[in-house]
Amino acid sequence: MTKSRASRVLMVCTGNICRSPSAEGVLRHLAIAEGLADRIEIDSAGTTDWHAGEPPSKRAQVAAKARGYDISGLRARPLRREDYFDFDWMLAMDEGHIAHLVRNRPEDATAEIVLFLDPAPQVGRGDVPDPYYGGEDDYEYSLDLIEAGCRGWLERLKGGK
């Protein structure tokens, strides 16, 4: 029996220091807990290079750590042209990111561009709001949505794509 190729997932937000690294860390944590770490490859990127090389924001790290997710080792990076070919899924945290991804999508790109919360209709919204300019409650709410989205993606990815 041949081993199937891992599903490759890229989380995308603006600066890659709050929402997308949090989603990367949560989905990785869930995949490991389910014994699926070898079947799902996860990364994150920003639509801008404003924070390239920086760790996730301190408040994102604190909120994640309180729920058992360690995202301190992640580093922000900007979206690259190759990402459209290297990943199966590009998961946008909001409609603005969808627009950016579609606008910059190479004609022959292979990645599917989807809103991150697509497999979590129970949350009643499509966008994960940016907590960066908010307070602690905003980070907690974003993490609530991210956990719901990651659980939905984990279920979707269990079957392959």
Q: Is 150 a catalytic residue?
A: no
Number of other CB atoms surrounding residue 125 within 10 Å: 12
Whether pLDDT at 136 is above 70 = yes
Tell me the average pLDDT of the chain: 95
Rounded to whole angstroms, the Cα distance separating 28 from 13 reads 17
Whether pLDDT at 145 is above 90 = yes
Using a 10 angstrom Cβ sphere, with 0-12 exposed, 13-18 middle and 19 or more buried, the burial of residue 126 is middle
Rounded to whole angstroms, the Cα distance separating 145 from 81 reads 28
Q: Which of 86, 130, 138, 156 is catalytic?
A: 130
Judged by DSSP in three states, 151 sits in helix
Rounded to whole angstroms, the Cα distance separating 73 from 51 reads 15
Residue that the structure tokens 């070919």 belong to: 85
- Tens digit of pLDDT for each residue in 42-60? 999 999 999 999 999 999 9
Rounded to whole angstroms, the Cα distance separating 103 from 5 reads 28
**What are the phi and psi torsion angles at 50 (to 5°)?**
-55, -35
* Alpha helices by DSSP H, 14-110: 19-33, 58-66, 83-86, 95-103
Domain spanning 7-158: CATH superfamily: Response regulator (3.40.50.2300)
If pLDDT is split at 50, 70 and 90, which confidence band does 129 have? very high
Q: Specify whether the CB–CB gap between 154 and 36 falls below 8 A.
A: yes
Q: How far is CA 2 from the centre of its chain?
A: 28
Q: Is 19 a catalytic residue?
A: yes
Whether pLDDT at 161 is above 80 = no
Domain ranges of the chain: 7-158
Please provide the size of the chain in residues: 161
pLDDT value, residue 2: 42
User: Which two tokens mark 78?
Assistant: 């900007």
If pLDDT is split at 50, 70 and 90, which confidence band does 5 have? confident
Q: Is 13 a catalytic residue?
A: yes
If pLDDT is split at 50, 70 and 90, which confidence band does 4 have? low
pLDDT value, residue 3: 52
Q: What percent of the chain stands above pLDDT 70?
A: 96
In one-letter notation, the amino acid at residue 130 is D
- Tens digit of pLDDT for each residue in 87-111? 999 999 999 999 999 999 999 999 9
